[in-house]
Each structure stands twice: as C-alpha cells, then as structure tokens.
Structure 1
Amino acid sequence: MTEDEDGPVTDDTLLTIGAFAARARLSAKALRLYDRLGLLTPAHVDEVSGYRYYRAGQVERARLVALLRQLDMPLARIAEVVEAGGVAGADVLAAYWAEVETRLAGQRTLAEYLRGRLSGRNSEMYGKFVVETVELPEQVVITETRHVLADELPAWIGASLGRLEEGARECGGVTAAPFVRYHSEVSMESDGPAESCVPVADEAAARAWAVAQGRVRGTEVRVEPAQRFAYTRVTKAQVAHPQLMAAFEAVEEWIAGQGLEQAGPCREIYFADWDAAGPEDPVCDVAFPVK
C-alpha cells in the first residue's frame, strides 16, 4: 500500500495521518483518540513503522464524529449514527436529541425547584398540596421487591404491578389500590429498595401462590396492619420529578407540624387508570404511616 498525495485523490487514496488530519480539519491527536474509541479506524497500519493511513473517503466520517462528540453523545450512539448514515442516521440522531431535550426539561424544572428551596420558598411550593389523614384497614398483600435506580423505576413499577395483579387472580382477586413502598431513597445514586404491593382477598391462597413462585423476583406475602396515614393527592402531571419530591416533602412537613411521627416507609398509592388519565387528573396518593 502506498500514499498518493501528488496524483488525483480519490476516495480510495491512502493518506498519512497528517495529510488526512489536514483534510478533515482535525488534529492527529483527535484521530488517534477516535481510533482508540473504535469510532474511526485507520484503513491501514504499517506493521513495521506503525504509521497510520486513512482513505480519503473517510474524511466525512471523521468530521461527522467530531461534530457528534460536540453534542456530548455517548460513544455507542455516535457509532450507531455513523454506521447507519443517511436518513437512518438522521433518525438515530433525532431520537437521541429528543431524549436530551426531555432530560433538559426535567433538569430545568428541578433547578427551579432547588432555587425555591435555597431561597426559602418551601412553603410556597408545598402549598400546592393539601394533606389529610385516613385510616386504612388491615389487608393481605402480595409483594415484589427490587433494588432499582430512578431511571429504571417507572418501567419496573409498571411491570411488577402487572405481574402481581396477574398473580392476584389466584389469590381471590385485588381488593384495594396497589401501591409501592420505598424502604430507602430511590435516586440516580441510591437504589432503594422499592416494594410493589397488591392487596388480595385470600391469605391462604396468597401464601400458596408465593410458595409456587419460589421467591422469584423477591415475591412475598405480608399482612399489613390497620394504620393511620397522612397523605396528599397528586395529579398525573405532578408525578413527574421534581413535583413528586415536593409532594413527599409537603407531607413530611405537615406531619412534623402536627406533632406526629412517621411510623414506617412512605408509599405511593395508585388508584386511577394511568393511561386514561389526563395531566390534571388525580392518579396517586403520596402517603406516610403516622402515629
């Protein structure tokens, strides 16, 4: 293989890394990095000298990689875009950017929430939530527990409650709204655990069902005692982060202000059809057992 920089340059012409870097308007250091990352591999590497040679036709890919890296795109997604190319590559980029805008919108909302906390406007934020108490009777629940991070939580809640509601058919049916208990914080750094729970009618059948499950996915049966709960009702729109965080904190503040004590893990109680609900429809209670 030879370098041909003096004659006509075609897509198959081999260029030294320096010549190729000049054409791509990139540094040789950047090209070596792209090689290490698996994003742009030289067309040929001399076995004796170790010199890298690129085909002239790789210039467009090099420039595309450089531009995509300016979007802070993960390496795997960059590789997906450049390998797909054309309209397919544009579709991959569009999907990625939609994810970025969704994340930025959430971060913008979180930043406003944190500004409120730092500036002492907590009561203004918490005032959106009306806190009440309710006495819930004893109930038998079948449960599934998992250590899960915040970005995995919504999908796991839906899947686990679906499995439990299916299992409830063997346990006399569902008797009350399903809920999720949080034994510890769930965030991007803390993984709970969280526990999905479905109240059922028949304790004996529930225990037989749990034995048949062989404790797969951490399934258990528990008898929840009759308890008093402090709770606030939230809409579908407020389930998003950080509005839901503010709801939890509003209930905690109310409990402290009433001279009560928290008596166990907090929970979200889902009483509405999520898919049928509109943004302003109540869908969930944020609740703490109190004494």
Structure 2
Amino acid sequence: MTEDVLVNEELLTIGAFAARARLSPKALRLYDRLGLLAPAHVDEVSGYRYYRADQAERARLVALLRQLDMPLARIAEVVAAEGSAAAGLLDAYWADTEARFASQRTLAEYLRGRLSGRSSEMYGKFVIETVEVPERVVLTEKRHTLADELPVWIPAALGRLEEGAREAGGITGAPFVVYYAAVSNESDGPAESCVPVADADAARAWAEGQPRARGIQVRVEPAQRLAYARITKAQVAHPQILAAFEAVEAWITEQGLSYDGPCREIYFADWDAAGPEDAVCDVAFPVR
C-alpha cells in the first residue's frame, strides 16, 4: 500500500486533523515538540505530520487543560494517567489554583484599602503593646527563602531546633522567626528560625553535629524592648500579616520611637491545635 493510500484511508494530514480536533496546526506542532501529542506518522522526506482520527480526543483534552492555565509539565502527567488517577491529578491542581486565587483576592482587597487611603482603618483593628525581653541564648537556622516556601520551611526548621533544645536543657521561650530583609516571591531574605534554650554549651554541641547545609548555630539574643501586635492564625496568612506589621510600624512612628533590630514573628501557641480565630503569633519590632 502506498503512503498516499495509507494517508487517505487511515491517517489525517495535520490540517485535516487540526480541523477535526478544533485546534490550529501551530498548537499541534507545539504539543508534538513538548511530547504531549506526537503524530502517528511523519514523512521522512517531506517532514509532513499525519495523525489518526482517534488522537483527536487527546488533542482536545490537552487544549481544555491549557484553558485552565495548567503548566505543560502537569498536563503531561494528567494525559499520561488514566481514569481516577488523571482526575485526582486534576483535583490536586485545581485545589492549588483555588488556594492561589483566594490569596490573590485577599491581596487585592488589601491593596484596594491602601490605594484608597483606608490604611488607618486597617491598622485600627490591631492593638499595639510593648514588652521587655531579657537576654537569651537561642538555637537558630538561617536561610534565604521566598515567601511561598515559608509555610514549609518555618515549621520544619522550628521542629528541628526544638528537638535540639530538648537536648540542651529545654525550651525557655516562644520560638520566633527573624526577617533580616524582605521576604516575598521576588526577595529571599534571609530569614532565621530561633528557639530559646537553657544550656548554651549543650546547644553548641548539638549544633556541631547537624548537617552544615542547614546552617544551625547558637547565638545570644540581646535584651530588648519589643513593640508588637497579636494576631490570629487566620491573620498569619499573607497578606493579612503585612497589615499587622504595618500597623506596628505606624505606631512606632507615632510614638517617636526608633527601630532597634529586624522584625520578627513570635509563635507562642500550639499551631496545630489552634483554630482560625485563635491568637497564635505576635508580629514585633525591637525598639528604643
């Protein structure tokens, strides 16, 4: 059987297949290049692509997933899976997407308040107080990290440090995270997770036995006065927490105080046991 007969009877040219799949030849060439939908046959001489009619369903599926703004790598996973496994991959992607949309919606509302001059109204819901904190020895783990990595890194780092603190006489205060520079999806800090410990020498011995890549150290946190706002578990999420930090900064300016160190988040409650409206964290600045 000649190739012309084969094409006419069993395969479709890229133009005919594109029309059947309701896609453009350009899209089909892209899908081929990315390994999402390979032609059934490519002419060795002309380079023309030919497709089977039953490939149209996969082509349409890829196109529909693209309409969800699904990354091509994840589309490849979905189309390679079958039945409930493919549906599960889609569910996981969409859950992540809805969470991102919710965060972006909250950020838009926050920015709307700032742009419309309602910042003072947002700050008014936070009560600012001060506290004197004595000198402490702390176990620390410092790293450069982006904002979307913080929800994973902070609990993991504090968990490691709390384990070390138990071998160093126990934990003597609430764990906290210090931000030495801005942490966002464009700026990576660094940030430092800290746990106060009772025995400095035992803490140093434990830290020396940890992987160097984690950057675990022991240092002395000086006595200081903190200006802080207490926030709920729901308010810890970005960007609600930004409003809390800005409220503290506005209060510091109003009181004529000066900054005396980098800002921090102090986690004084059991995160896993807390509900959305339970107070779990103080956002604070050292002041003088």
- 200-209 or 181-190, which deviates more: 200-209
Residue 80 of structure 1 corresponds to which residue in structure 2? 77
Structure 1 residue 6: Cα displacement: 5.1
- The 8 Å contact of residues 4 and 15 in structure 1, kept in 2 or not, is answered as no
Return the letter of the residue paired with 2:177: V
Residue 149 of structure 2 corresponds to which residue in structure 1? 152
SS of 1:177's equivalent in the other structure is coil
SS of 2:273's equivalent in the other structure is coil
TM-score (normalizing by structure 1):
0.95
Structure 1 residue 5: Cα displacement: 5.9
Q: Following the alignment from structure 1 to structure 2, what is the Cα–Cα distance between the partners of residues 259 and 287?
A: 16
What is the aligned length? 286
Residue 263 of structure 2 corresponds to which residue in structure 1? 266
Q: Following the alignment from structure 1 to structure 2, what is the Cα–Cα distance between the partners of residues 263 and 81?
A: 52
Sort the Cα spacing of 1:211 and 1:98 in 2 relative to 1 into closer, same or farther, 3 A.
closer
Identity %: 78
Q: Following the alignment from structure 2 to structure 1, what is the Cα–Cα distance between the partners of residues 208 and 163?
A: 16
Q: Following the alignment from structure 2 to structure 1, what is the Cα–Cα distance between the partners of residues 147 and 158?
A: 17
Structure 1 residue 48: Cα displacement: 1.4
TM-score (normalizing by structure 2):
0.96
SS of 1:289's equivalent in the other structure is strand
Q: Among 99, 123, 137, which residue is 1:126 paired with?
A: 123
Q: Among 86, 102, 107, which residue is 1:89 paired with?
A: 86
Residue 279 of structure 1 corresponds to which residue in structure 2? 276
Q: Following the alignment from structure 2 to structure 1, what is the Cα–Cα distance between the partners of residues 223 and 24?
A: 69
Q: Among 221, 224, 227, which residue is 1:224 paired with?
A: 221
For structure 2, the residue ranges without an aligned partner over 5 or more in a row are none
Tell me if 1:68 matches 2:85: no
Residue 98 of structure 1 corresponds to which residue in structure 2? 95
Q: Among 100, 112, 116, which residue is 2:113 paired with?
A: 116
Runs (4+) of structure 1 moved beyond 6 Å? none
SS of 2:15's equivalent in the other structure is helix
- The 8 Å contact of residues 164 and 207 in structure 2, kept in 1 or not, is answered as no
Q: Following the alignment from structure 1 to structure 2, what is the Cα–Cα distance between the partners of residues 75 and 289?
A: 46
Q: Among 52, 56, 62, which residue is 2:53 paired with?
A: 56
Residue 10 of structure 1 corresponds to which residue in structure 2? none
- The 8 Å contact of residues 135 and 222 in structure 2, kept in 1 or not, is answered as yes
- The 8 Å contact of residues 40 and 62 in structure 1, kept in 2 or not, is answered as yes
For structure 1, the residue ranges without an aligned partner over 5 or more in a row are 8-12
